[in-house]
Structure 1
């Protein structure tokens, strides 16, 4: 049988879908074999297929999208240290270096070469946010990365299938929850076995080099589609700037989107300098990754994630700025900065592409609870609640949903089973969605206390307490976030939730799109009936009384 070298559109779609299905299967395996709530419930991980040149060509459909950019770049960096010709079946490369991976120590990266008949035919790339890497228990106040925990340079976690006992021993000795950390790492590696089997089956069906052939087509066609979308835009420089909460003082994010022909440069000159007193710095690969996701949403939202989409797009930020921090800057809470990049990109492009942009979103927050269980074993629980998503030209924002990530809320049954916490309330937050022709998504209210006489050691990382999610195209901002311990505002530091105290979290809403007075009266009436907005909001912000006349 003559194995095809020229692929038509149908062949490409069938084979590409098959590879995405492979990664979906690996995703499910990782999800169900992981140990910590941050992986098994919040889904803070990704599994990606790379071709033999370590270029991303397929990703599971429910994965952290920004990893599509940073995982292949990290793989190529690790392959500089462990060249392809020196690898053997059973090797697993590993690192958590923020300047190689995704910008902070808890993100563990593994790269597995997939062999068939003595040849490397692809790579499995996996990333997962583990529950602990040692270091400080607070999220935001380290002075350098050394205070934030254990940093392991690129190593072979397994060599020819034999575990590196020294690396595992170091991990076990330097994490507060070794069972969770090593369990998640094992799940991350194990998911690669499924991908390896499916890749060999793929070659059996499509011949030697079949993955590279379809990969080349995916990359080429995706790049062409992105270039065509960019070329349809008028050349020019499109500036925007926003201020976000940061830590104790606001962070300024400045951007100029420079469109030239079929290429885009995102220039973050003018943004705040890196901080030596707060863990909110971004390394350049994180800035690039989160920028790429926003650009994809604007210009190629229907094309599955792959590296070809990003070839025409370049990201630059001054070295030493908060978006290109120099080693050894503290970086643990870098999402306090990186999760706002989509907002400034959408604002820059709002007048040029009004139907494609989105208002600011209210996600995400980080909650952790630590202690010892009834057997005296240390436990760590992590919950990633979300506020509302920003509205778009044709749709209200979704309530309590992640953007630009896709993390989910840990089920209440899991929270109450694995910790001394009890969830008293989890409800939609009335009037929290930014008003607009399309309303921002609602945030949520979460009220927590402990079981009986137990206490709980807690750490929080909220956002948008000072600067709310911004509206766009005349839309109003969403409601700011609030954190209360009984009747007092809570500082952003680790604290003990004592028996009898109630912790109240009011997560921010998403921004609105368009002028509130342009909202359809039927939509307003439906919002009132559903309890999404109050009658007072309808009158004072949406102008219902004025419309009635």
Structure 2
């Protein structure tokens, strides 16, 4: 029998757990039907113990998905305690208990050993379509945004719920993609459970409770030690940005380092209230990107699990844009949610100035094209995304065309052109759009596309940062603002917009802020806002 207190055997078992979740996540990605999962990696995969605590995550995926999955796994494990049998698989896309909008569907399966549950394996994937208006800002409340799947058994004793699958298929535009991706999630969950049982066989374990306790405890100790090494106090940061339609959002964060407790307390009091557009953020998603910001600065190499997450506390006023209440629309919650780290990084500059980033342009610029083929069959592109430039680091430039904080990749243009009638006319780096500095900010990119069709089509987009630039830090200069045009004219639409067959979309994504005064100059900021472009 393996000895959990032996550091060598513990490391071997821990390495095995990490390989299990990473291999299964990649298997799920390879077997997925939709490009947003298969090519862009818009997913998360994790192992939980019998109490629903997240223990290990896959190497692939996004922070918004994985840290929300930590909440959803614990929620589902508690809700179905005592009701699960071998072969059961749970599912939900509840925004407030999951990853913040209907498109992110969580699948969780219990791991049985000798007739009892020893853990869970689960994933959260972004799905191509869930009905409603798509990933946009146009809905007035959450019920207009698509199909809401309550916590329910997708499989029961190994058999799929025909009724639930029928309901899902009839409420989405791409039923084969959705059901194919769900089955990929189910297969990877089953594969992960088998692999955990094989680990128990190999090391002579009856369950994984002792192993997971040790991993979680060591992670928590290390996180608290890193926090106690920081100066004690409270610091604040604020970021302002504009979203589609011209609405200006303010996020304020106070960050408190409590060395006695070994905790970081983050409070978003003073941030904008929730609005009647689908950019509102549930607290799970705010917590996910808040903890990622702290951990990427203080302990970037520490395992991400219940232990390392526990010392980071996040609060926000109910009804604020980062803790919205039902029935707020949330379909494009990433538009605001990916700005969450920015005020935290500004506050942490006073704590660990050499480890933070200058401000970046927040959310990736995403677009979706919806239309019909000549034979009348509908098509819906996956939500394809193009990043701006990342904010600069203290000693390194910001990477170009790379978005912080998400880990999503850009779907290859060849895939998009193969699976839909989209035609890309141009894609290149937007040279000089990153802010100047001792370390310059990353450049954005230029993208131009149309649709190869004689039929009208629909554009769904939500660009940000066209008036407010990504701010430089420590004397660094601001990045350039973005531009979003249709047929050469600045576009100010919201949500779905009808397009003519020959319309052309042109995007210039924003640049990241610079870090440090360029060439040792003392730089004075003239203000981060730029005038509205003339139409």
TM-score w.r.t. structure 2 length?
0.93
Q: CA deviation at 1:402?
A: 2.8
Q: Give CA deviations for 1:363-392 in whole Å, capped at 9, x if unaligned.
A: 411111122345543221121111111111
* Alignment match, 2:533: none
Q: Give CA deviations for 1:478-518 in whole Å, capped at 9, x if unaligned.
A: 11111111220112332344343321111111111111123
Q: CA deviation at 1:453?
A: 4.1
CA distance in 1, matches of 2:360, 2:204: 46
Q: Is the 8 A contact 2:283 2:316 kept in 1?
A: yes
Give the secondary-structure state (helix, strand or coil) at the position aligned to 1:398: coil
* Alignment match, 1:523: none
* Alignment match, 1:331: 330
* Alignment match, 1:365: 365
* Alignment match, 1:489: 490
* Alignment match, 1:530: none
Q: Is the 8 A contact 1:436 1:474 kept in 2?
A: yes
Task: Pick the structure with more helix per residue.
Answer: 1
CA distance in 2, matches of 1:137, 1:312: 36
Q: CA deviation at 1:209?
A: 4.2
CA distance in 2, matches of 1:496, 1:413: 25
CA distance in 2, matches of 1:323, 1:451: 39
Q: Give CA deviations for 1:129-177 in whole Å, capped at 9, x if unaligned.
A: 1111111246112111111111121001111111111211111111111
Q: Name the CA shift for 1:159/1:138 in 2 (closer, same or farther; >3 Å).
A: closer
Q: CA deviation at 1:355?
A: 0.8
CA distance in 2, matches of 1:501, 1:196: 49
* Alignment match, 1:465: 466
**How many positions carry a matched residue from both structures?**
515
* Alignment match, 1:291: 290
Instruction: After TM superposition, list the pairs within 5 Å mapping 1:151-166 onto structure 2.
Output: 151-166=148-163
Q: Give the ranges of 4+ consecutive aligned residues of structure 1 lying more than 6 Å apart after TM superposition.
A: none
Alignment of 1:273 with 2:273, yes or no, is yes
Q: Is the 8 A contact 2:52 2:74 kept in 1?
A: yes
* Alignment match, 2:9: 11
Q: Name the CA shift for 1:5/1:420 in 2 (closer, same or farther; >3 Å).
A: closer
CA distance in 1, matches of 2:466, 2:208: 47
Instruction: After TM superposition, list the pairs within 5 Å mapping 1:60-209 onto structure 2.
Output: 60-83=58-81, 85-137=82-134, 139-209=136-206
* Alignment match, 1:236: 233
Q: CA deviation at 1:438?
A: 0.6
Instruction: After TM superposition, list the pairs within 5 Å mapping 1:206-221 onto structure 2.
Output: 206-209=203-206, 211-221=208-218
- Unaligned residue ranges in structure 1 (runs of 5+): 520-549
* Alignment match, 2:476: 475
Q: CA deviation at 1:358?
A: 0.5
Q: Give CA deviations for 1:186-237 in whole Å, capped at 9, x if unaligned.
A: 1111111221121111001122245322221221111111101111122211
CA distance in 1, matches of 2:378, 2:393: 44
1:258 corresponds, among 256, 259, 281, to 256
CA distance in 2, matches of 1:119, 1:208: 14
Give the secondary-structure state (helix, strand or coil) at the position aligned to 2:266: strand
Q: Is the 8 A contact 1:56 1:68 kept in 2?
A: no
CA distance in 1, matches of 2:247, 2:76: 36
CA distance in 1, matches of 2:92, 2:375: 32
* Alignment match, 1:59: 57
Q: Is the 8 A contact 1:402 1:408 kept in 2?
A: no
CA distance in 1, matches of 2:206, 2:278: 44
* Alignment match, 1:515: 517
Q: CA deviation at 1:321?
A: 1.0
Q: CA deviation at 1:26?
A: 1.0
Q: Give CA deviations for 1:288-329 in whole Å, capped at 9, x if unaligned.
A: 111010011011101132121111111011111111111111
Q: Is the 8 A contact 1:421 1:456 kept in 2?
A: no
Q: Is the 8 A contact 2:22 2:58 kept in 1?
A: yes
Q: Is the 8 A contact 1:114 1:123 kept in 2?
A: yes
Q: Is the 8 A contact 2:235 2:350 kept in 1?
A: no
Instruction: After TM superposition, list the pairs within 5 Å mapping 1:285-324 onto structure 2.
Output: 285-324=284-323
CA distance in 2, matches of 1:379, 1:324: 34
Give the secondary-structure state (helix, strand or coil) at the position aligned to 1:423: strand
Q: Is the 8 A contact 2:52 2:78 kept in 1?
A: no
Give the secondary-structure state (helix, strand or coil) at the position aligned to 2:189: helix
Give the secondary-structure state (helix, strand or coil) at the position aligned to 1:323: coil
1:222 corresponds, among 213, 219, 226, to 219
1:25 corresponds, among 23, 26, 40, to 23
Q: CA deviation at 1:446?
A: 0.6
Give the secondary-structure state (helix, strand or coil) at the position aligned to 2:27: helix
Q: Is the 8 A contact 2:96 2:282 kept in 1?
A: yes
* Alignment match, 1:528: none
Q: CA deviation at 1:61?
A: 0.6
- Unaligned residue ranges in structure 2 (runs of 5+): 522-535
Give the secondary-structure state (helix, strand or coil) at the position aligned to 2:128: coil
CA distance in 2, matches of 1:82, 1:264: 32
RMSD (CA atoms): 1.7
Q: Is the 8 A contact 2:367 2:385 kept in 1?
A: yes
Q: Is the 8 A contact 1:497 1:503 kept in 2?
A: no
Q: Name the CA shift for 1:489/1:268 in 2 (closer, same or farther; >3 Å).
A: same
1:501 corresponds, among 482, 503, 506, to 503
CA distance in 2, matches of 1:137, 1:336: 14
* Alignment match, 1:402: 403
Q: Is the 8 A contact 1:420 1:454 kept in 2?
A: no
Give the secondary-structure state (helix, strand or coil) at the position aligned to 1:115: strand
Q: Name the CA shift for 1:206/1:375 in 2 (closer, same or farther; >3 Å).
A: farther
